[in-house]
Amino acid sequence: GLSMVAKVMIAFPQHPSLLQEGVWLAFSLADTNAFAKMFRLVEGCQLSQAAIAWAIVDLARRQRDKGLVGASEWAEADELVVCILEALNPQGPPDLVWGCLSALRELIDGHSDRAMLFVSKGGAEVVLRVLKNGQEAGRDGSSLMLAGMQLIPSLVQGNAAVAQTLRSMGALEVLVACGLSLKGKATDTMMWALGQVGGILAVLQVMSTASSEPGALESGLETIARLAWKPL
């Protein structure tokens, strides 16, 4: 059963194809119930946990492509949020951190109760730590910064309490530092996350101080337009 699959994955963590096959075998045995169980069965094996996280992302996207609701409506979604947060070590392998952030976005988007669960378990601190670590890593941390900035709007959507929590932790400053260090399309991601957490005023402040940054003004204006139609 699942225990045997987990043992094999733990024994051969350096074989990505085997890990992927193991996760999908577990899925075939227990459907989406397998994911939370497998996270705990392979606890401590970060490469195996990364494979599970990416399988969640892959399955959720395939379901949506078929017109289904995706991971956010899985019965075990709440449990998975907790399992993924437990596995999300900001100091862990980039593939694990990136996969966990991406899976959390699939599970939390559109569910403010799940965002509150995530934050209540210390998730906000973890995401901000990932962003800071990504910035310190320079170009090697770009995917982590982008994934973290993409998750934040899902956390604060329709959830003023989470937005306030993030602001109190210095999220606005962290977002600006990450977004401006990445440039390009990442600026759009940063501005949208910034607007979701701090509102139009926060976006205007960044536009005024970063007017010389390529794309900052255009991205800011687009964000303000979106927020005007869908205010915080």
Q: 107-147 pLDDT, tens per residue?
A: 999 889 999 999 999 999 999 999 999 988 877 788 999 99
Report the alpha-carbon distance of residue 23 to residue 157 in Å, rounded: 31
pLDDT tens digit sequence for 167-206: 999 999 999 888 877 767 788 899 999 999 999 999 998 8
Tokens of 124: 């906000």
Q: Are 76 and 42 in contact (CB under 8 A)?
A: no
* Alpha-carbon separation of residue 215 from 89, 109, 182, 193 (angstroms): 33, 27, 11, 16
Q: Are 100 and 84 in contact (CB under 8 A)?
A: yes
pLDDT tens digit sequence for 11-25: 999 999 999 999 999
pTM recorded for the entire structure? 0.90
If pLDDT is split at 50, 70 and 90, which confidence band does 73 have?
confident
Report the alpha-carbon distance of residue 72 to residue 12 in Å, rounded: 31
